[in-house]
Amino acid sequence: MQIDLHAHSTASDGTDTPAELVRRARAVRLDVLALTDHDTTGGWTEAVAALPAGLTLVRGAELSCVSEGDRPISLHLLAYLFDPADAAFVAERRRLREARWDRGRQIVARLVADGYPIDWDSVRELAGDAPVGRPHIGRALVSAGVVASVDEAFERLLHHDSPYYVAKQDTEVLGAIRLVRAAGGVPVFAHPLARRRGEVVSDEVIAQMAAAGLAGLEVDHPDHRGTDRAHLRGLAADLGLLVTGSSDYHGSNKAVDLGACRTDPEAYQRIVAEATRLPPVTG
């Protein structure tokens, strides 16, 4: 079984529509794909409607979270198979999307103030109904001829140490884990040691997350080097967490192929077993 538990569509900052994404998943011979757009379930319906025969879809999302220690550290939480109508979780996803909107405008305003030839309207148009993210701003910078690629936009202007960077108002992570569990879902810490995105949390914070109800760690991820994967595997064993692997595919916004990292069937079965309200769907 080929299982990829983390991918983005145009419902957030990927470039494949949800229908294109599930078709591509089958074309690259995946058996299971999780759709995990940032802070939204907006792509679920289209993905289910377009599901090819033989592909199983895990409906999910990737939540923007913050760990409040001495200084705030941003991190991502994958949420699988939760009830999309759970009122508290619906409200929090909406709040996150609104926070992204305000923050996107602030980043664009800072770029405009320095003379970069983009504007908020074009970024908004590029995002469409999706929660606004830095990749949308990156694409506006590509369209304006400022940079040649979204990657270059991140390297030069959009990275977390840039003067143009503005943090989002994310969800406190222990609360987010409880929110996902209360909605019947299964929370997995996305790319815990993706260091190029900024500071990463300590093992102590991961232990606190486990105590709050975390189910697993995404260990095999394109942004993790070998030593970090080995460390996370040990930590998962110590804390009784399951281990996943996934590509974090974003289409042409990022140079990673669907299925680049994968999850063992036993870990996938544990996730399905822990979900209390929403099963996977098979085409």
Q: How far is the CB of 89 from ligand AMP (least distance, A)?
A: 19
* Segment holding 188, helix H or strand E: strand 186-190
CA angle 46/48/52 to nearest 5° reads 110
How are the residues of the chain apportioned to helix, strand and coil, as percentages rounded to the nearest 5? 40, 20, 40
How far is the C-alpha of 109 from the C-alpha of 125, rounded, in Å? 16
Is 13 near Fe ion (CB under 5 A)?
Answer: yes
Geometric angle at alpha carbon 271, from 247 and 59, rounded to 5°: 60
Total chain residues near Zn ion (CB under 5 A):
2
Q: Closer CB to ligand AMP, residue 150 or residue 267?
A: 150
Task: From residue 38, give the alpha-carbon distance in Å to each of 64, 68, 117, 130.
Answer: 7, 20, 27, 9
151 is an interface residue for ligand AMP by CB under 6 A: yes
Q: Is 220 in the site for Zn ion (CB under 5 A)?
A: no
Structure tokens at 185: 């879902």
Binding partner at 221 among ligand AMP, Fe ion, Zn ion, none, C-beta below 5 to 8 Å by kind? none
Find the binding residues for ligand AMP in span 23-42 (CB under 6 A): 38
Closest C-alpha among 188, 136, 197 to residue 161: 197
Stretch that binds ligand AMP, among 24-32, 127-135, 185-193, 207-215 (CB under 6 A): 127-135
CA Rg, the chain, in Å?
18
Please report whether residue 248 would count as binding Zn ion according to CB under 5 A: yes
Contact 40, 130 (CB under 8 A): yes
Closest residue to Fe ion, judged by C-beta, is 76
Residues 152-191: x where in contact with Fe ion by CB under 5 A, - otherwise, as a string: --------------------------------------x-
Amino acid, res. 65: C
Nearer to ligand AMP, 133 or 245 (CB): 133
CB of 159 to ligand AMP, least distance (A): 7
* Residue numbers 199-228 binding ligand AMP by CB under 6 A: none
Residue 192 interacting with ligand AMP (CB under 6 A): no
List of residues contacting ligand AMP (CB under 6 A): 13, 38, 133-135, 150-151, 154, 250, 253-254
